[in-house]
Amino acid sequence: MGKTKNIFYAQSGGVTAVINASACGVIETAKKHRSRIGKVLAGRNGIIGALTEDLIDTSREKPSAIAALRHTPSGAFGSCRYKLKSLEENRAEYERLIEVFRAHNIGYFFYNGGGDSADTCLKVSQLSKSLGYPIQAVHIPKTVDNDLPMTDNCPGFGSVAKYIAVSTREASLDVMSMAKTSTKVFILEVMGRHAGWIAAAGGLASTKGAELPIVILFPEIVFDRKRFMELVERKIRRHSFCSVVVSEGVRSPDGKFLSDLGLRDAFGHAQLGGVAPALASMVKQDLDVKYHWAVADYLQRSARHIASKTDVEQAYAVGKAAVEFALRGKNGVMAGIVRTSNHPYRWKIQEASLARVANREKMMPRSFISRDGFGITARCREYLEPLIKGEAYPPYRDGLPVYVRLKNLPVPKKLSEDFEVG
Amino acid sequence: MGKTKNIFYAQSGGVTAVINASACGVIETAKKHRSRIGKVLAGRNGIIGALTEDLIDTSREKPSAIAALRHTPSGAFGSCRYKLKSLEENRAEYERLIEVFRAHNIGYFFYNGGGDSADTCLKVSQLSKSLGYPIQAVHIPKTVDNDLPMTDNCPGFGSVAKYIAVSTREASLDVMSMAKTSTKVFILEVMGRHAGWIAAAGGLASTKGAELPIVILFPEIVFDRKRFMELVERKIRRHSFCSVVVSEGVRSPDGKFLSDLGLRDAFGHAQLGGVAPALASMVKQDLDVKYHWAVADYLQRSARHIASKTDVEQAYAVGKAAVEFALRGKNGVMAGIVRTSNHPYRWKIQEASLARVANREKMMPRSFISRDGFGITARCREYLEPLIKGEAYPPYRDGLPVYVRLKNLPVPKKLSEDFEVG
């Protein structure tokens, strides 16, 4: 097999509107270095594909199909929610990984995900030597939650933020025009169980000259029902309506998720509600005004049709940088985004040590949340605004975006043994 | 005041992504006929503005602001949910309308809305003569529900349909890439309490060569839990996941809304749930698979960012046609859309008698719903596809769509008496 080594690439955890742009960056950049890099082999359903030797040969896709990954949401090779255990708990898993890597001449391990995958990536980078097979592990950041440290922001977040900002603006205008005789409170539930970055993006909907009455409920701030209702009531008095953007992770003073109301249907069956309907019921009880609520759920993270151009470019860039880091002999690093200027917004990719990334969550700084706890500050706005900038529309056919589906042809297996994942 | 007469224009009921494009069509076309038409006076908050003599002088807006209505969602002058009573019940309301029209030299009454406003429009057209003040009443169709008769489709619907089709495609790809270890059923709740047109649009997400396993629950079809679960299970077995698009109006065999489960929280407070979480709980009980659910609510009808170009053009055209009908002496008519060809799609505007429009709902024909009741037929697809065709992106600044807010300056009142609405 000469001096060239193959790349193993896998997608991990919840997918985003732009994670495939990172895959595109990896594959297109690798092709430019044929003297040193062989093929990019992708894990079918993430790391599970490595453990089960279910690898996808990306070289069998047309270049146009690979290019189309740039505008295709979701995880083109399949992702998974699967965290490798510690070496002590399941050494067999790591040994299996190395065995598969060795069998397929894989010299580079690229893991595209959030905190958990950064941790796995770090472990692989540390263990490969001790297990007698050198491999360079590079982490490619991805998370809609924007909660990774050592990077100014996470690819995937900017597009969700844009979706939430745009949707909040549009729905607020709708409510504004109906408020005289109909809905006065609109509640939008957004993702972000621990960190309020996505909820904060709702605040961008209101800008100078186009103000909107928006109240944000962050998971970082304990829910105070009385103060919240007073604020909503004030906004209604002044603007005739109020929009509420609420993070799924908001908790009441007793530490319980607000969505965890112990709902029962008429037959006594437990119901899993969202925080939006729970909050809507409280608004009904306390203020007795007409309300509507929406839960964006997967719509927000898959909305490639309204992706941020900045986000798409950064997602591609971190994939490209992973290849370049690998070629420069790096190991145990993440391709982080560094903001070098705000006006105009400028950024570059820089390596970050995975030891400083893994198992740490980046919460919203308190200085990004307004003093009353219900809004964003000017500093937060300055941080968020460039991340949603620019449009990067996918191509359309017959009114629908054209998203690529890869052939995802398997690499013939070389190992005789199956491996049980679990 | 010479021979020119003013137009009274009002928006009625739930607003849409393109109702302002109809307003734009009215105002821009009226300006081209200054010899016969004076000003376009808009009702602040719909018909309530006429009753309370709260009129907006649209001639005081800049032409660029009026032009921007074409890409601005919501109701720029305010809308309302207010149905005029019958002449027998509240003759005073009609007399007041005529009084306001007379005071402001209004010769044309343009009402932009759905079934209720068509009915009001018809009554005004019939009564003006008997009340001794001639006025020409023209109805401009608008409803996301697409349930008006005498028009091939309703402005507002195409954009919601596009939003639902695009979102269903995107979220389905997301679930597909996660299904191996995570979510297997995704449920999207959409509007349409009586007619399944919006739910049907979810079926467009799956196209030849890009098939997706989608199950649709229409309000026209009684919910059969056992058959539904069997189908979802079959889809999961075959495709590893299933997307469900469910109309808010789906009913169980006892005639109750599926969302009406009699939910109570731990304190015994009644909770108003949506149909999506109710259905999700049933999926959990019957199939025990991981699910996610979304409720699009106002997001779907205000999503101007992904409006259908066909829809925007038709919304403008019905506004323009209303002026032209008025100039040709028409009264008691609606500007209906007639489809003259499917391949290529061609349409024109034609008058329809309001007597045939008012108080009739157009349901999905049974031939548009697949035999098993869970999908759309080829005929339905042929009907829907042209309506979502084309993109009509709004302008953006700093990552957000720029939507206009009018000055909405009031016309000085001329009547001495106030009028109590209600």
B162 and B201: one domain? yes
Domain annotation covers residue A409: no
Instruction: Give residue-wise pLDDT tens across range B309-345.
Output: 999 999 999 999 999 999 999 999 999 999 999 999 9
B75 and B50: one domain? yes
Contact between B272 and A280 using a beta-carbon 8 Å cutoff: yes
Domain annotation covers residue B408: no
B214 and B190: one domain? yes
Calculate ∠ Cα A160-A162-A141, nearest 5°: 45
What pLDDT is attached to residue B2? 54
Chain B residue numbers with beta carbons less than 8 Å from the beta carbon of A170 are 17, 73-74, 298-299, 302-305, 401, 403
Scan for tokens 């960190």, then name that residue: A195
Domain annotation covers residue A372: no
A257 and A329: one domain? no
User: In angstroms, what separates the C-alpha of B12 from chain A's closest C-alpha?
Assistant: 9
Q: CB pairs under 8 A, 24+ apart, for A134-137?
A: A134/A107, A135/A98, A135/A101, A135/A106, A135/A107, A135/A108, A135/A109, A135/A331, A136/A107, A136/A108, A136/A109, A136/A326, A136/A329, A136/A330, A136/A331, A137/A108, A137/A109, A137/A110, A137/A111, A137/A331, A137/A332, A137/A354
Distance CA A337, CA A236 (A): 40
What pLDDT is attached to residue B168? 98
Q: How far is Cα of residue A213 from the mean position of the Cα atoms in its chain?
A: 27
User: In angstroms, what separates the C-alpha of B324 from chain A's closest C-alpha?
Assistant: 27
B183 and B298: one domain? yes
Scan for tokens 């919203």, then name that residue: A364
Task: Give A38's Cβ-side CA count (13 Å radius).
Answer: 16
Cis? peptide before A344, omega within 30° of 0: yes
Average pLDDT over residues B374-396: 98
Domain annotation covers residue A367: no
Please state, rounded to an integer, the average pLDDT across all residues of chain B: 94
A15 and A137: one domain? yes
Check A116, A145, A147, A311 and give the catalytic one: A145
Percent of chain A with pLDDT over 70: 96
Chain B residue numbers with beta carbons less than 8 Å from the beta carbon of A281 are 265, 269-272
Q: Is B119 part of the annotated catalytic residue set? A: no
Distance CA A7, CA A108 (A): 5
Check B116, B119, B145, B147 and give the catalytic one: B145
Cβ pair B337, B318 in contact under 8 A = yes
Domain annotation covers residue B382: no
| Residue A208 DSSP code | T
Percent of chain A with pLDDT over 90: 85
Domain annotation covers residue A411: no
List the CATH number of the domain containing B138.
3.40.50.450
Distance CA B296, CA B163 (A): 10
Residue A65: strand pairing partners:
none
Contact between A170 and B278 using a beta-carbon 8 Å cutoff: no
- Which H or E run contains A238? helix A225-239
Q: For residue A170, what are the domain limits? A: 157-302
Cis? peptide before B344, omega within 30° of 0: yes
Most distant pair of Cα atoms in chain B: their distance:
75
Instruction: Give residue-wise pLDDT tens across range B39-92.
Output: 999 999 999 999 999 999 999 999 999 999 999 999 999 999 988 888 888 889
| Residue B353 DSSP code | E
Structural domains in chain A (count) = 2
B296 and B331: one domain? no
Strand-pair category, A333-342 with A345-353 = antiparallel
What pLDDT is attached to residue B268? 65
A96 and A214: one domain? no
In terms of pLDDT, which residue wins out, B131 or B270?
A: B131
Instruction: Give residue-wise pLDDT tens across range A262-284.
Output: 666 666 665 556 899 989 989 99
A179 and A212: one domain? yes
Residue whose C-alpha is closest to residue B15's, from B301, B239, B277, B296: B301
What are A354's two structure tokens? Answer: 């995975």
3-state secondary structure of B397: strand
B68 and B81: one domain? yes
List the CATH number of the domain containing A184.
3.40.50.460
What pLDDT is attached to residue B1? 44
B135 and B59: one domain? yes
Lowest mean pLDDT, pick from A295-299, A328-332, B355-359: B355-359
Domain annotation covers residue B111: yes
Confidence class of residue B269 from pLDDT cuts 50, 70 and 90?
Answer: low
A256 and A349: one domain? no
Domain annotation covers residue A379: no
State ipTM.
0.97
Q: Can you say whether residue A398 is alpha, beta or left, with left for phi > 0 and alpha for psi between -120 and 50 degrees?
A: left
